[in-house]
Amino acid sequence: MTGRPSAAARAWDAAALALVAAGAAVVYYAHQGLEGIRRSPLRAAAHGSPNVARWVHYRTVSNVGFAMIVAGVVIGVVAWYRSRREQMLARALPVPLDDAPLAVSPSVVPAVPPDVPPNAPPG
């Protein structure tokens, strides 16, 4: 990694994690509700019965939870792609932008001493 992740990258990662965790919690809630229906005394399933209405409710809640998980994964993939792209661009630049001189002038270019062999006589 070229440096610490930016605050925006951390926010994307936090949003992805929050969506996945919240979606998992919602799916767990729906699963517990559906298990409650399964454990209830058997009744004939008729349209408009309380168990059918509860099943439809918990099934909808479950679908919302799975949609939240998928959205969190998509946000995580997008955050990873953006981070990867920023890393590749940072490696492609020859000099970090903060250290690059604003204008090239003779006063900015460092003076290079002439090549002198190590055993050359003085003068």
The three-class DSSP label of residue 22 is helix
**pLDDT value, residue 83:** 85
**pLDDT value, residue 111:** 61
**pLDDT value, residue 73:** 96
Cα–Cα distance, 106 to 123 (Å, whole number): 27
Q: What is the pTM of this model?
A: 0.66
pLDDT averages per 10-residue partition of the chain, 123 residues: 74 94 97 90 68 90 97 94 82 62 56 68 68
Cα–Cα distance, 19 to 79 (Å, whole number): 14
**pLDDT value, residue 39:** 86
> Are 72 and 16 spatial neighbours (Cβ–Cβ below 8 Å)?
yes
> Are 27 and 87 spatial neighbours (Cβ–Cβ below 8 Å)?
no
